[in-house]
Homo-oligomer: A and B are copies of this chain.
Amino acid sequence: MNIMQSAKAAKKASVYLAAVTPNSKNNALQLIARELHNNVALIKQANETDVERSRKENLPAPLLKRLVFDDAKINEVIAGIESLMTLPDPVGKTLLATRLDDALTLYKVSCPIGVIGVIFESRPDALVQISTLCLKSGNAILLKGGSEARETNKILAETIYNAGCKAGLPQQWLTLLETREDVSAMLKMDDYIDLIIPRGSNAFVKYIMDNSRIPVLGHAEGICHVYVDSDADMQMALKVVTDAKVQYVAVCNAAETLLVHNTIATTFLPLLKQELDKYNVAIVGCEQTQAIINVNPATDEDWKTEYLDYKLSIKVVADVDEAINHINTYGSRHTDSIVTANRETAKKFLDLVDSGNVFWNCSTRFSDGFRYGFGAEVGISTAKIHARGPVGLDGLVIYKYKLIGNGDIVADFVTGNRTFQHKIIDDNCPV
């Protein structure tokens, strides 16, 4: 099958997936978990082939680490599937019911989106997480993984697909795409693919966003900020900034820029530098920062840079408004946190910072689907529509309006024979 045929087949499968019952989906998930368990030896063997080849090809160490899919990782994804089974089914929920008139009732009912195209790099666990989230939400999936993980992805996708089919899911509910050319082709197929979820480097995600008319859910960058207000508890601020910066530097929800109120900067910054020096964090700062601690100057480019490293840029600001303005100008709508004891200041920050995740007195590193209690996530969205922040099952469904009548016609309402009641009721959609 070529990519066009695969996409058409996925579209066709998606129609039937929309009506698969919650039980059938959970049975499929259970069988998938079991078959992954049964195929452990094959999966590990395939992964060793990938790791060995990638090592020879000098894949950078951090990517090599993400590529490894060992017993621990396999058990983790199986546990993930089991926890996914316990989550309520996101499809078929009546979100609103309105009686338009006697025996004419409107129901807003959640349903799958259709066909999701997922493009991801190295980590094979992403394949399992994303495909099982798509299954639970009733979507068909076109998957393209990084070529460095090709053997692992192949056996994982085969195992998952076959188990799903055995459990009664429609043919072609999942397809693994094999070549880089498939990705370019996929980006053009807006007739068959309803949503693209890219996971990978900034450049990679930006390329996807720039080259497709299909809606894209994800984020290119995570330029996250912590703002330490004049009313901050100094010890709390030290703890939060340090965690946000150094707890794990290579991830999108790590802080890249610190904003600090000028009334406390002279006390706070020396304490912070002392703390960050323990982790060898390179600091660059604005002129005011440089007057307080001995650091290199920050350029305008620094405010726009996601370091993903032991590096922090610092700016002293006059008030919360300047902090908000800086974040809305240079940030990436990902995650931003304020440390303050002042409720009004916190409220202003949370309301006016235009990011998917806005935090008060806690570390930006909490911005994550698992930590939010979503079970898993397909990624973190910095879009302004559909879904923001960590995206779990809820971001993979949409709704349709079901109107149920008894031969009702609009002419009767236009002529005034009948009038709309528009009464919100508590019923679930009967079909």
Question: Given known contacts A19-B351, A414-B247, A431-B350, is B388 in contact with A113 (CB within 8 Å)?
Answer: no
A389 touches B385 (CB 8 A): no
A361 touches B420 (CB 8 A): no
B410 touches A100 (CB 8 A): no
- Bitwise, A103-127 to B at CB < 8 A (1) or not (0) is 0101000010110000000000000
- Bitwise, A352-364 to B at CB < 8 A (1) or not (0) is 1011111111110
Task: Tell which of B114, B363, B414 touches A384, judged by Cβ atoms closer than 8 Å.
Answer: B114
| Chain A, range 224-240, C-beta contacts under 8 Å to B | 233, 235-236, 239-240
What is the copy number of this chain in the assembly?
Answer: 2
B354 touches A15 (CB 8 A): yes
A408 touches B361 (CB 8 A): yes
Task: Tell which of B352, B357, B401 touches A388, judged by Cβ atoms closer than 8 Å.
Answer: B401
Stretch of A36-44, A45-53, A366-374 that contacts chain B? A366-374
B113 touches A385 (CB 8 A): yes
A100 touches B366 (CB 8 A): yes
Stretch of A158-166, A282-290, A297-305, A341-349 that contacts chain B? A341-349
Task: Tell which of B14, B217, B354 touches A114, judged by Cβ atoms closer than 8 Å.
Answer: B354
- Min CB gap A381→B, angstroms: 10
A411 touches B100 (CB 8 A): no
Question: Given known contacts A404-B361, A405-B359, is B18 in contact with A352 (CB within 8 Å)?
Answer: yes
- Bitwise, A54-97 to B at CB < 8 A (1) or not (0) is 00000000000000000000000000000000000000000000
- Min CB gap A358→B, angstroms: 6
A388 touches B398 (CB 8 A): yes
| Interface range for A | 35 or more
Residues of chain B with a CB closer than 8 A to A411's CB: 243, 247
Per the bound structure, the CA–CA distance linking A213 and B247 in Å amounts to 36
- Answer yes or no: A180 CB below 8 A from chain B CBs: no
Per the bound structure, the CA–CA distance linking A364 and B424 in Å amounts to 21
Per the bound structure, the CA–CA distance linking A177 and B391 in Å amounts to 36
- Answer yes or no: A402 CB below 8 A from chain B CBs: yes
Question: Given known contacts A324-B15, A373-B422, A431-B350, is B386 in contact with A386 (CB within 8 Å)?
Answer: yes
Task: Tell which of B98, B213, B243, B347 touches A409, judged by Cβ atoms closer than 8 Å.
Answer: B243
Residues of chain B with a CB closer than 8 A to A215's CB: 215, 383-385
B404 touches A385 (CB 8 A): no
A366 touches B408 (CB 8 A): yes
A372 touches B98 (CB 8 A): yes
Task: Tell which of B209, B356, B362, B413 touches A104, judged by Cβ atoms closer than 8 Å.
Answer: B362
- Answer yes or no: A194 CB below 8 A from chain B CBs: yes
- Answer yes or no: A365 CB below 8 A from chain B CBs: yes
A399 touches B388 (CB 8 A): yes
A360 touches B402 (CB 8 A): yes
Task: Tell which of B361, B372, B383, B388 touches A100, judged by Cβ atoms closer than 8 Å.
Answer: B372
B420 touches A328 (CB 8 A): no
18 contacts between A and B (CB under 8 A): A14-B354, A100-B372, A215-B384, A235-B407, A236-B407, A239-B409, A243-B411, A346-B431, A356-B400, A358-B401, A359-B402, A361-B405, A361-B406, A363-B409, A373-B424, A385-B385, A386-B386, A389-B400
A114-B354, A361-B407 are known; give 8 further A-B pairs, CB within 8 A. A100-B371, A100-B372, A113-B385, A235-B407, A362-B407, A371-B420, A385-B386, A389-B400
9 residue pairs, one from A and one from B, having the closest CB atoms: A362-B405, A373-B422, A243-B409, A236-B407, A365-B410, A386-B386, A347-B431, A362-B408, A194-B384
